[in-house]
Amino acid sequence: MADLDITTIDHGSAKTHLVSTAYVNWVMLQDADGVTLIDGGYPGHADAVVEGLRRVGSDLHEVQAALLTHAHVDHLGGLARIGRTTSFPVYAGDDEVAHARREYLEQADARTIGPLLYRPRVARWLAGVVRLGALDGGGIGDAQPFGDLSALPGAPVAVPAPGHTRGHTAFLAGDGEVLVSGDSLISGHPISACRGPQCLDEVFTHDVPANEESVAALAGLDAVVVMPGHGPLLSGHVSTFVEQALGRS
């Protein structure tokens, strides 16, 4: 069982929970109607996804849907594995669905990561994530494009943020209080010595200028909590973190 931490923002009638592991995060939106998952870790995190639900008094039967920020294995893998035994729908952005179905793969591989293996952090990270199923090429064959998300638990709002992948999406939760930023804007990563708001290493990013453009646009939101795909929760107005991440502060 992976070690996990849960940080909860209570909005009154709904809660947004950030589930953190050493390698990647995911989010649970919870209200009286059930739970919406946003991402689900590596394949090896499938049990941890269930454990996260249990710790907030829920279970897989209460999950109404899962949303993907993007279809990289560290965000989709746990859901892909769980999906074999459950039946909630998995949604992704219009331009990410084919990626989730593995009609193509837009992800760092041996060719791109190999030259970085001299860095001890990268070598340690790779050993860890291979154990979590990083090389599992499976997707979610029945992933669907977002429809109307407003009726789902937590009433998430999709915010297109392409660049990290072509169909990457961020989400607002808690009436706009929380931004679930996925891998567009993160706050730490095992391969990075840098702590605090940042963009993910270029080796993992499909289109760096497009991602920077998306991150800059996030500054226009009114979120005061950011839950990233990697690294700890950020508490403060999103525009501050955008400036820091883009090196303009």
The correct pick among 72, 81, 206, 230 for binding Zn ion (CB under 5 A) is 72
| Closest distance to Zn ion from the beta carbon of 13 (Å) | 31
Listed ranges 28-36, 112-120, 181-189, 206-214: which one lies at the site for Zn ion (CB under 5 A)? 181-189
Q: What DSSP line would sit under 56-97, residue for residue?
A: TT--GGGEEEEE-S---HHHHHHHHHHTTT----EEE-TTTH
Q: Return the number of the residue (174 or 229) whose C-beta is nearest Zn ion.
A: 229
Q: Return the number of the residue (96 or 183) whose C-beta is nearest Zn ion.
A: 183
Does 183 engage in binding with Zn ion (CB under 5 A)? yes
Q: Which helix (H) or strand (E) holds 38?
A: strand 34-38
Listed ranges 52-60, 67-75, 81-89, 149-157: which one lies at the site for Zn ion (CB under 5 A)? 67-75
Contact pattern for Zn ion over residues 129 through 168, marking x by CB under 5 A: ----------------------------------------
Q: Return the number of the residue (36 or 69) whose C-beta is nearest Zn ion.
A: 69
Q: Which helix (H) or strand (E) holds 31?
A: strand 25-31
Short-list 137, 143, 169, CA closest to 27: 169
Strand 14-20: give its sheet, edge to edge. 5-10, 14-20, 25-31, 34-38, 63-67, 90-92, 144-145
User: Token digits for 178?
Assistant: 């929380």
CA distances (Å), origin 5, targets 20, 41, 89, 200, 208? 5, 13, 25, 22, 30
Listed ranges 80-88, 93-101, 179-187, 211-219: which one lies at the site for Zn ion (CB under 5 A)? 179-187
Q: Return the number of the residue (174 or 232) whose C-beta is nearest Zn ion.
A: 232
Listed ranges 93-101, 142-150, 183-191, 232-240: which one lies at the site for Zn ion (CB under 5 A)? 183-191
| Closest distance to Zn ion from the beta carbon of 161 (Å) | 12
Query: Considering only residues 40-59, where is the footprint of Zn ion by CB under 5 A?
Result: none
How would you classify the pairing of strands 178-182 and 169-173?
Answer: antiparallel
| Closest distance to Zn ion from the beta carbon of 140 (Å) | 15
Q: Return the number of the residue (14 or 26) whose C-beta is nearest Zn ion.
A: 26
Short-list 81, 203, 234, 221, CA closest to 161: 221
Q: Return the number of the residue (155 or 226) whose C-beta is nearest Zn ion.
A: 226
Q: How far apart are CA 121 and CA 195, in angstroms?
A: 14
Q: Return the number of the residue (14 or 199) whose C-beta is nearest Zn ion.
A: 199
- Residue 213: CB atoms within 10 A of its CB come to 13
User: Token digits for 180?
Assistant: 């679930």
Query: Where does this chain bind Zn ion (CB under 5 A)?
Result: 72, 183
